[in-house]
Amino acid sequence: MATAAPIEWIGDATTGALRLLDQTRLPNDVVYLDCRTVETVFEAIRSLRVRGAPAIGVAAAYGVVVSMQGTADRFDTEFITALGAVCDRLASSRPTAVNLFWALDRMKQVGSTIAGLPGAERLVRLHREARTIEVEDQAMCAAMGRVGAAYLTDGMSVLTHCNAGALATAGDGTALSVIYAAREQGLQIEVYANETRPLLQGARLTCWELMQRGVPTTLICDNMAGWVMKSGRVDAVIVGADRIAANGDAANKIGTYSVAQLAKAHGIPFYVAAPSSTFDLSLADGSRIPIEERAASEITHGFGKATAPAGVRVFNPAFDVTPASLIRAIFTEKGAIEPVNTETVRRCLGKPTSPQ
C-alpha cells in the first residue's frame, strides 16, 4: 500500500492551493489541509503539520506560489518586494532545516527574472520552479535509496530515529528510501523504530508508514536503544538529516547523537541518508548549525496532558549534531560519502576543496 502523499498541488498556478497531509493528526486520522495564504503555510511548517527537511523545502516553494496569487499583477518593484516579504516570512518558520532556505532562494531567483511578465505568467513560472523542486526531490530519494541499499544484506535489522520516510519528502524518503530500495531488490530487512520523544514521530509516523508499506517493524522507547543493540538485534543504524556541514557533521532530530554514540560503543555502523540539498557548505563544521528550541509545553504537556509539575524549567532543543567521526557513510543521490570528511564531501558533491 502506498503512503499518503504529504504534499500535493491542487488546481492551476493562478487559483490552485497547496494541500498538505496534517501529520499532527497521524496515526489516528488522515486529514488534509488546503493552504491558500502565506500564514497558513507558515503555520503548517511551524506546527509540524508538514515536517522533514526535504518536505519543508517543497512545501515552502509551493507556499510562495499561493502567497503571490493575490499580488501577481502588481508593478514590478511592488511584486519583487512582496515576493521578498513572502520568502522572508516562510524562512522564519524553522531555523535548522537548510532545504527550506535552499528552496526559497530558488524561488527568489525565478522571481527576479519574471518581473516584466503578466501576472498569470509570473505565477506559472513560479509554479513550474516549485514543481521542479518537487520532482527533483523524488528523483533524489530514489537515487539515495539505491546507493544505501548496496550497504545492506539479506536478513539485516536496521534501527532508525524520527521519521525520514515518504512523509518527510516528496518521494520515498531519505533513511527509509534505503529500506524500501533494499526490499524492492528482494532483501528481507526489518526495522526497529525509536519512538522519538517528545513528539513521537517515530511511533506515530515511521511505524505507520512502514506498516503501510508492509515492512516488519518493531517500536521501542528511545531509552531502550542501547539494550536492543547490546542484545544483538540491530545490524545498522540509518537516519536522515536536516542540515549537514561541509565536514559531514549532521544535524538531525534530538536523540540522534545519543544513538550514534551507542552504535559506536557496540560496533554497529551508523549511516546518514540525505540529498545534496541538505548540505550547507558555508558551515565548516556542525558547531555553527542553528539549533531550533521549541515550546516547553511539548514536554510538560505532551499531546495535551500534563506530565510534569507546573513551573518546572524545560530545555527543549529539537535537534542535535552528530559529528562526522561517528558516521560510517552518508548516502546521497550522487553516491556514498565514505570516509566522512571535508574532502570526500566536496568530492562527492562536485565542489572544489577550498584552499588551506
By annotation, the residues acting in catalysis are 242
Pick left, alpha or beta for residue 190 (phi over 0 → left; psi -120 to 50 → alpha; otherwise beta).
Answer: beta
Contact 64, 49 (CB under 8 A): no
Q: Which grid coordinates belong to 173?
A: 524518503
Pick left, alpha or beta for residue 246 (phi over 0 → left; psi -120 to 50 → alpha; otherwise beta).
Answer: alpha
Tell me phi and psi for residue 297, to 5 degrees: -60, -25
Contact 252, 160 (CB under 8 A): no
Residue listed under C-alpha cell 532562494: 105
Please give the span between the terminal C-alpha atoms of the chain, in angstroms, as a whole number.
51
Contacts of 259 by beta carbon, 8 Å cutoff, 6+ apart: 159, 161, 194, 225, 237, 239, 270
Q: At what angle do helices 53-68 and 38-46 cross, to 10 degrees?
A: 170
Contact 172, 180 (CB under 8 A): yes
- Check residue 268 and report its DSSP letter: -
Distance in angstroms (rounded) separating the CA atoms of residues 309 and 264: 36
Pick left, alpha or beta for residue 50 (phi over 0 → left; psi -120 to 50 → alpha; otherwise beta).
Answer: beta
Distance in angstroms (rounded) separating the CA atoms of residues 27 and 303: 13
- Check residue 206 and report its DSSP letter: I
